[in-house]
Amino acid sequence: MFKGVFFDLDGTLLPLDLAELMNSYFRALAVKLSPYVEPRLFLSALMAGVEQMLANDGRGTNEEVFRAEFAWRLERGMEELQPIFDDFYLNEYRELGRGIEPRPEARQAVELAFGAGAQVVLATNPVFPRLAVKARLEWAGLADCPFAAITSYENSRYCKPNPGYYRDLLESLGLHGPDCLMVGNDTREDLAAAELGFCTFLLEDFLLDRGSLHEPTWRGSWEELLKVLGG
Ligand SMILES: [Mg+2]
């Protein structure tokens, strides 16, 4: 069995179309910050910050890289805005998840992995703050799971599909790629784990096929995933 089982969150454990969420998320955040920053300037600074994170080569945490770009674009420090961001993630952001029904199979899959003695990792692309990841875990009905690691922009210095993202995680957990499984819905971001020798499972419910150098070890529905996990 696998010593490490890594799960993507958006479109995998959490049944949602990420592109739709991002639209309402960014709009709501722009509204929240509108007393302080003109919304169009805010959105362009936000996008530039996200691009910098996606290109992060390990020179700092994703948060540091984001903040440097964001603050530079807005010509102001983050000190004044940070409490407003935090308040957003504790309030407005949580409302965005209304109506999302957790998938019982997601919990089954996570419990099977824990039951087999694996280290279970929430390997969500670390472009969001911890508070935002926690809110989405609540929407997925998995906030109580004792994950060995949860990636967020504070604790990561690469983004998927950079293999450095997976390498850092393996190192911090004392794991080796060939002993691990990565489960995700995105051919580009999640199958990149194969570069470190991971087995991969491409979950097709919210499939994002953006091309990949790697074929998944397995692909299919929840039913097939549960079989791979020994259920
Ligand atoms: Mg995904």
pLDDT tens per residue, range 57-116: 999 999 999 999 999 999 888 888 999 999 999 999 999 999 999 999 999 999 999 999
What is the percentage of the chain residues whose pLDDT exceeds 70?
A: 100
- What pLDDT band is residue 19 in, cutting at 50, 70 and 90? confident
Q: Where are the alpha helices (DSSP H) in 91-187?
A: 92-95, 104-115, 130-139, 163-173
Question: 181 alpha carbon to ligand 1 midpoint, in Å?
Answer: 15
| Residue ranges with CB less than 5 Å from ion ligand 1 | 8, 10-11, 185-186
- pTM, entire model: 0.96
Q: What is the pLDDT of residue 94?
A: 94
Q: Is the pLDDT of residue 212 over 90?
A: no
Q: How far is the CA of 208 from the centre of ligand 1 (A)?
A: 8
Contact 157, 62 (CB under 8 A): yes
Q: Hey, what are 177's tokens?
A: 């790629």
% of the chain residues with pLDDT over 90: 91
> What's the pLDDT score for residue 80?
87
Average pLDDT, the chain: 96
Residue 18: band (very low, low, confident or very high) from pLDDT cuts 50, 70, 90:
confident
Alpha carbons within 13 angstroms on the beta-carbon side of residue 13 total 28
- How far is the centre of ligand 1, averaged over its atoms, from the C-alpha of 130 (Å)? 17
- 166 CA to middle of ligand 1, Å? 15
CA–CA dist 133, 153 (Å, integer): 10
Least confident interval from 20-24, 42-46, 128-132? 20-24
Ligand 1 midpoint to CA 79 (Å): 31
Ligand 1 mean position to 125 CA, how many Å?
Answer: 8
Residue 41, pLDDT > 90, answer yes
CA distance 66 to 83: 16
Tens-place pLDDT, residues 105-145:
999 999 999 999 999 999 999 999 999 999 999 999 999 99
Distance 184 CA to ligand 1 centre (A): 6
The CA 8 to ligand 1 mean position distance, Å, reads 6
Residue type, 208: L
| Distance of alpha carbon 217 from alpha carbon 127, whole angstroms | 26
Pick the CATH number of 4-16+101-228 from 3.40.50.300, 3.40.50.10490, 3.40.50.1000, 2.30.30.140: 3.40.50.1000
Report how far residue 35's alpha carbon sits from residue 135's, in angstroms, rounded to the nearest whole number: 25
200: CA distance to ligand 1 center in Å?
A: 13
Token pair in block for residue 104: 């019982």
